[in-house]
């Protein structure tokens, strides 16, 4: 029988060194809050209860996280005084089951992996396991002191370590898996009789050793899994580290980057083979690229699905669009939410499309706005065409049926339907439906005055 699992996330710190009115755990890394990263990892586990200890900016933290994370209920516990990590866990005891075990995590240590936490949980066979790491420079960090048999016997802080202990390179990450029964036993016994007058969570290690408990230790696959964020420099450094990891994973899947250091992935990017991504491209949210997609410099792509063999020219913004195969886009195109581009369609330079479907093989090549429209197959929309979809109060639909031709600088005043194989003359203002195969024009008659004399300056 699997032991019930709780997760305790310590997220009460103010983060003074961030120099921000925003709570530290809401600072963003790769487009997501630090606390959000931890929660996403926890939701990959089978967790029976998630407890978040909040403090500074607690209402703001609760509001943002509650709105964004609905996968599982969260128990919120306030730490009104910042009296140390031991005190932060202690305030959860009234909400913590007496049985089962708990992972103790930190809202500002965002990149610990599901695999590492699963291994930590599995390693807890005698009541307690902890995540440690062997580093080249352990200065300032708590050392893992072991006995002659190799068992953990204490955590020694830098200021308390003698010369021999300071030479130890195995350090404490602060991440634990502990039986709830031990937390209920040890946390009330913690003392703040120390220089900082704080309750240290690390003291439960020596309590467990005194009770004859063998504490298991595992190391994460990546050093960045235990890196915390206390200031802007550390946040920027961890951002770059995580971006390198995301890019490396995509390279292994067959993606070519013009410069792996000049791309940002702020969410989830899934890509097929032989994809090329030029410099300064930004992906946000959940993005999917098919095979043989080519994306040129400076594009911003958000929550989009892009089919096979698409070519996206420089400086396009694509937001919540569904793009078929073989589509050409840009440069400087703007695809707004709920845009659908069918196979082999084309959207050219300085074109904006919003909440519209462009049919197979249709073209919107230059300087146009298409909004709230359904465009059939084989349609050609000339330069400067506007669908006038808003009357000041309501949005209305424009329908352009198969093989229609819309001349340059035409204005289609919705609601309006252009029939199949119809032609709209350049410069027309169309306010009524156009029949199939008809020619429609609505513009002032051209007047010509011969031998016209231009005015001269007085």
Q: Which residues are catalytic?
A: 366
Q: Enumerate residues 6+ apart whose C-beta is below 8 A from 287.
A: 267, 268, 269, 270, 301, 302, 303, 304, 305, 306
Contacts 24+ apart (CB under 8 A), 259-265: 264/30, 264/31, 265/30
- Rounded to an integer, what distance in angstroms lies between the CA atom of residue 318 and that of residue 325? 15
Strand duo 216-218 + 152-156: pairing: unpaired
Rg of the chain in Å (alpha carbons): 31
CA–CA distance from 391 to each of 58, 397, 413, 415, 416 (Å)? 44, 11, 9, 10, 13
CA nearest neighbour of 54 among 112, 98, 95, 101 = 95
8 and 103 in contact (C-beta within 8 Å)?
yes
Angle between helices 34-43 and 58-68 (to 10 degrees): 40
Orientation of helix 114-123 relative to helix 34-43, angle to 10°: 60
Residue 232 phi/psi, 5-degree rounding, is: -65, -35
Beta strands in 80-211 (DSSP E): 101-106, 128-134, 143-146, 152-156, 170-179
Give me the half-sphere count of Cα atoms (radius 13 Å) on the Cβ side of residue 259: 11
Separation between Cα atoms, residue 330 and residue 366, nearest integer Å: 9
Which residues have C-beta within 8 Å of that of residue 305, sequence separation ≥ 6?
287, 288, 321, 322, 323
Residue closest to 224 by CA, chosen among 236, 241, 244: 241
- What separation in angstroms does the CA of 255 have from each of 21, 274, 281, 287, 433? 39, 6, 14, 14, 47
């Amino acid at each position: 029988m699997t032991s019930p699992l709780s997760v305790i996330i310590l997220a009460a710190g103010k983060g003074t060194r961030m120099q921000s009115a925003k709570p530290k755990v809401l600072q963003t890394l790769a487009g997501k809050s630090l606390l959000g990263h931890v929660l996403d990892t926890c939701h990959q586990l089978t967790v029976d209860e998630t407890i978040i200890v909040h403090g500074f900016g607690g209402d703001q933290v609760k509001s943002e996280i509650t709105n964004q994370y609905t996968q599982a209920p969260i128990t919120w516990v306030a730490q009104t005084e910042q009296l140390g990590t031991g005190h932060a866990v202690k305030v959860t005891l009234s909400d913590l089951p007496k049985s089962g075990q708990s992972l103790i995590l930190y809202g500002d240590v965002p990149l610990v992996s599901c695999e590492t936490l699963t291994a930590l949980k599995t390693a807890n066979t005698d009541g307690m396991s902890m995540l440690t790491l062997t580093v080249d420079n352990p200065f300032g960090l708590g050392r893992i002191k072991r006995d002659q048999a190799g068992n953990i016997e204490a955590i020694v802080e830098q200021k308390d370590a003698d010369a021999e202990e300071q030479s130890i390179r195995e350090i404490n990450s602060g991440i634990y898996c502990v039986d709830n029964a031990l937390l209920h036993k040890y946390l009330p016994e913690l003392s703040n009789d120390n220089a900082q007058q704080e309750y240290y969570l690390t003291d439960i290690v020596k309590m467990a050793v005194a009770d004859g408990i063998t504490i298991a230790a595992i190391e994460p696959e990546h050093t960045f899994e235990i890196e915390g964020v206390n200031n802007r420099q550390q946040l920027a450094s961890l951002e770059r580290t995580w971006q390198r990891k995301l890019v490396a994973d995509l390279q292994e899947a067959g993606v070519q980057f013009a410069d792996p250091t000049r791309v940002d992935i702020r969410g989830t990017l899934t890509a097929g083979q032989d994809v090329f991504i030029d410099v300064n491209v930004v992906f946000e949210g959940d993005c999917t690229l098919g095979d043989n997609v080519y994306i040129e410099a400076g594009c911003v792509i958000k929550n989009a699905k892009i089919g096979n063999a698409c070519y996206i020219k420089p400086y396009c913004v694509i937001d919540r669009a569904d793009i078929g195969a073989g589509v050409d886009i840009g440069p400087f195109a703007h695809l707004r939410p709920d845009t659908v581009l069918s196979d082999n369609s084309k959207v050219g330079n300085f074109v904006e499309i919003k909440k519209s479907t462009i049919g197979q093989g249709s073209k919107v090549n230059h300087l146009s706005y298409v909004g709230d429209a359904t465009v059939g197959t084989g349609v050609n929309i000339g330069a400067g065409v506007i669908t006038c979809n808003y009357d000041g109060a309501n949005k209305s639909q424009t329908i352009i049926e198969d093989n229609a031709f819309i001349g340059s600088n035409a204005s289609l005043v919705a609601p309006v339907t252009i029939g199949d194989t119809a032609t709209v003359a350049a410069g027309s203002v169309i306010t009524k439906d156009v029949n199939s195969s008809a020619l429609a024009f609505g513009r002032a008659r051209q007047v010509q005055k011969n031998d016209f004399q231009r005015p001269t300056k007085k």
